Amino acid sequence: MAEVTVSVDGVKYSDHVEPRLLLVHYLRDVVGKTGTPVGCDTSNCGACTVLLNGASVKSCAVLAVQADGGEVTTIEGMATDAGLHPLQQAFHEEHALQCGYCTPGMIMAASDLLRENPHPSDGEIREGLEGNLCRCTGYENIVRAVRRAAQAGASA
Amino acid sequence: MTAETETPAAPAAEFGRARLRKEDERLITGQTNWTDNIRLPGMLHVAFLRSPYAHARITSVNVSAARSEPGVIAAYSGADFAAEQGSLPCAWPVTPDIVIPAHPPMAVDEVRYVGEAVACVVARDRYAAADALAAIEIDYEPLPPVLDIRTALQDDSPKVHEAGNKSFVWPFAQGDMDAAFSDAPVVLERYYRQQRLIPAAMEPRSVVCSCVGGEFTLWSATQIPHVLRVMLALVTGIPEQNLRVIAPDVGGGFGSKLQVTAEEVLAVLIARKLGRPVKWTETRSEGCMTVHHGRDQWQKITIAADADGRIRGLDVDLLADMGAYLMLVTPGIPLLGAFMYPAIYKMDAYSFKCTGVFTTKMPTDAYRGAGRPEATFAIERIMDDLAAELALDPLELRERNWIKHEEFPYTTVAGLTYDSGNYEAATAKAKELFDYDGLRLEQRRRRTNNDPVQLGIGVSTFTEMCGLAPSRVLGSLAYGAGGWEQASIRMLPTGKVEVVTGSSAHGQGHETAWSQIVADQLGVPFEDIRVLHGDTQVSPKGMDTYGSRSLAVGGMALVSACDKVVEKARVIAAATLEASADDLEWVPGRFEVRGDPDKRVTIAEIALAAFAAHNLPDGVEPTIDADATYDPDNFSFPHGTHLCAAEVDTETGFVTIRSYVCVDDIGTVVNPLIVEGQVHGGLAQGIAQALYEEAVYDDEGNLVTSTLADYLVPSAADLPSYVTGRTESRAANRLGVKGVGEAGTIASTPAVVNAIIDALRPYGVSDVTMPCTPERVWRALQTAQGKQTGSAAEQHAARQSDQTQGNSPQGSDGGEA
């Protein structure tokens, strides 16, 4: 067992885990953060995307021990007392989700995209989210939502 | 243009309004209740060992070593379940002599596809369960696989089941085929391949089962909690009243979760054996192998026409791959297309035959559109070929044949009565949005200039039958259940409303749309309504969600239930207002005394009066709650015109969709936001079939595309932006609604392929087998121009397609039954 100390959505956790434990299973099964789902086992779908030290990672492709000493932000840490994150609000307003299974990862990936490129073109949004699969929306409204969030200053 | 309609439903404040979804709040904040999120005290985890052979005899299984692995509570082989596991159900025996082989949830002595469960481990956590699978000893005696339905019916083919590889032959014929074909000036015969697809809902399947004192609760990522409950009772013998099935938040289905799966049955049996709750969640690669697949047909279609393009007759001969077993509605899927090949066209005669064939592959079953995309593809592809043959514009040819708007209601040669439609209006609007004439000009320019990037315009004027379905019709097709839907309205004492629906949403937005419908019917605020669904204890009756049925059937059940609430409320209102019930006027939200509108009582006040029950007239029960079950008289028939402009690079074979316009007539619209989303998602799946996706098995029957790295579900970067429009002809139900869930998928596949072929016709290319990858497009071009090609990759492509150019498969048996 290895000790891992990690901050998740602003709360510090310290646990003994198997060295092979995936970060996503640490978040879901140990910390209880089930807002981050698992969609595949080959890091193709992006449903499990979280921010690790500010950058997006697919948490099924990171070991929990690799996050030791780091800060993780999941979808559950995006809203604040002031309300929804602009990306959450934009996904709602643009109907950018249907079943919602890809949504946590899509929002986390989009937040990293806007951090790097606060005002992306539609093409840049599409390229930037190509690591996140959605089976319901056909992506049109996801592109609109990210564009709307960018206009609302989501990168700030 | 519209058939006689019933009295329209109540006037609409909410109907047609782009309400943002009630569902979103939990979904965008990570508070969703997916099945895999459920943790029960003492819960154990199940992992399955799966067959690495497409076909083999199991000669021995020994799970005892696995039982002593750390954290392992139990391990079982098929023999451990043999006495109690029954056979997974097929609810659609399409012919009296259909062969339905036994389908044990866990294989006992023979496996018939790669991925079939052969043993399992139950452990304290998912890692321990997976680890212990390695300790199971199992020996197989390999048997020959059966992989090609075109040769599976030959006498010398190995057999999937003892009874042979033919499951059924289902024929249908109407009109004088000889007269239609004998002296027809034009007869075209084509072979099309509907490749096998993997539905790939983003949420993997997951099951949790608890068993307490003989009462079972099963949570499952399913589209069909109600059907599942009945089937689990029938398969396991557990009394139905002791089974509760819950579909919590479900992450997409597209037909793939319209199933009674081996893992659901086994979870129940394991929970019963151990007396502890168990969970199983599939990995994606397990899902690719063992969630039922879609499509997989060879289609031979022959059309006879006059010299001016008028269709005389149509003949369809299908080979449909059932896979290794018949699952819930496997044999019925191709038959849902049987009535749709004539599509929107008038003709004198039609014949159809479908042969269901067993192979050693994962069974096929419903996938978005289910039979109707296949039919639409074949008719819309051959219509384009017929137009080319006659040197007609493809829309002009269609217009010469389609049912005119003034001819509705119209009974087609396939025997369906289309209640409403206006193909002229949808096509005119689509042409305008698309700039059809401008793009044709550009196409001519590029052809003249020998531009290496050619432009093609693809047309698809589709219709579909949905709103499944009138129970009598289902009965006549030997389907094992009805097609009704149930709704309940509970008027709470505070004036708020609970709406219970038997329709089980998994992304469609019922909580929002149903609130809108009920808000209008009862005159209560949208915010005051809560929609409950997906739990057989909360919503005991239902037929669930598939076949674009929720609104056209379940929505109508809501309206009927609201009617009953109003009629019950009228009696109490009359007593309250001391007026005759006949003198009361229902203005949604309240009753008023005619001629004295100041005398009024609201539905909330009536609900409270019923709750208190202090002053009810004699014999009036103290409730205005009501249930209704709605069985539709007919299917509904959405239609539309889809136009695709594709740029095809003749040097690389790469296809880029430049623009995509669709104008859909889905009847009236409750929520345009939700409708547009359904269309977008449908288009993406249809385009994916045309360009990207194919489930590929190798020569030994291994699934090659077993991850999302190999099976190309498209990303945002792979898909175009869509232009959507609507026209509206009311369906012949009180809401005027038709259904929209499958329209985009049904229409878009032929539009894209027609665009590719339209671009390449001057090069002599008349077909490219789906998915139209750059290699296949490039190779079709090379072959058409007489050039030799031959990379190793082509060997696979040729096996899959057998027809990169021309329309005749290499095997003379192709498409023949």
Domain boundaries in chain B? 35-143+204-250+257-290, 294-468+634-801, 484-630
- What was the pLDDT predicted at B9? 53
CATH for the stretch A2-76:
3.10.20.30
Chain A residues closer than 8 Å to B677 by CB: 95, 98, 136-137, 141
End-to-end Cα spacing for chain B: 40
Q: Of 3.40.50.300, 3.20.20.70, 3.90.1170.50, 3.80.10.10, which CATH number belongs to B35-143+204-250+257-290? A: 3.90.1170.50
- In angstroms, rounded to a whole number, what is the distance separating the alpha carbons of residues B464 and B363? 24
Cβ-defined contact of B204 to A39 (cutoff 8 Å): yes
Residue from A93, A99, A106 whose CB has the most chain B CBs within 10 Å, to mutate = A99
The helix (run of H) or strand (run of E) holding residue B79 is helix B78-81
Is the peptide bond between B469 and the residue preceding it cis, with omega within 30 degrees of 0?
yes
Q: What is the pTM of this model?
A: 0.95
Three-state secondary structure readout of chain A = CEEEEEEECCEEEEEEECCCCEHHHHHHHHHCCCCCCCCCCCCCCCCCEEEECCEEEECCCCEHHHHCCCEEECHHHCCECCECCHHHHHHHHCCCCCCCCCHHHHHHHHHHHHHHCCCCCHHHHHHHCCCCCCCCCCCHHHHHHHHHHHHCCCCC
Cβ-defined contact of B715 to A99 (cutoff 8 Å): no
Kindly list the averaged pLDDT for each block of 10 residues, start to end, along chain B of length 817.
Answer: 46 89 98 98 98 98 98 98 97 97 98 98 97 98 98 97 98 98 98 98 98 96 98 97 98 98 98 98 98 98 98 98 98 97 98 98 98 98 98 98 98 97 98 98 98 98 94 93 96 98 94 98 97 97 93 96 98 96 96 95 97 95 98 97 98 98 98 98 98 98 97 98 97 95 97 98 97 98 82 52 42 34
Q: Which CATH class is domain A86-151?
A: mainly alpha
Cβ-defined contact of B37 to A28 (cutoff 8 Å): yes
Q: Residue B680 corresponds to which amino acid?
A: H
Of A33, A99, A126, the CB nearest to B202: A99
Q: Do domains B35-143+204-250+257-290 and B294-468+634-801 have the same CATH topology?
A: no
> Between A and B, how many CB-CB pairs are < 8 A?
179
DSSP letters spanning B416-434: -EE-B--HHHHHHHHHHHH
CATH 3.30.365.10 fits B294-468+634-801, yes or no: yes
Cβ-defined contact of A138 to B28 (cutoff 8 Å): no
| pLDDT tens digit at each of 156 positions of chain A | 999 999 999 999 999 999 999 999 999 999 999 999 999 989 999 999 999 999 999 999 999 999 999 999 999 999 999 999 999 999 999 999 999 999 999 999 999 999 999 999 999 999 999 999 999 999 999 999 999 999 998 775
Average pLDDT over chain A, rounded to an integer: 97
Q: In DSSP terms, which residues pair with B459 in a beta bridge?
A: B643
- What was the pLDDT predicted at B3? 42
Of B29, B677, B715, the CB nearest to A137: B677
The CATH fold assigned to B484-630 is Aldehyde Oxidoreductase; domain 4 (3.30.365)
Domain boundaries in chain A? 2-76, 86-151
Number of H helices, E strands in chain B: 21, 28
Chain B residues closer than 8 Å to A42 by CB: 284-285, 707-709
- In angstroms, rounded to a whole number, what is the distance separating the alpha carbons of residues B363 and B105? 13
Cβ-defined contact of A100 to B683 (cutoff 8 Å): no
- Identify the CA nearest to A71 among candidates A110, A118, A23: A23
Cβ-defined contact of A130 to B284 (cutoff 8 Å): no
- What was the pLDDT predicted at B809? 39
The 3-state DSSP class for residue B274 equals helix
Chain B residues closer than 8 Å to A41 by CB: 283-285, 707
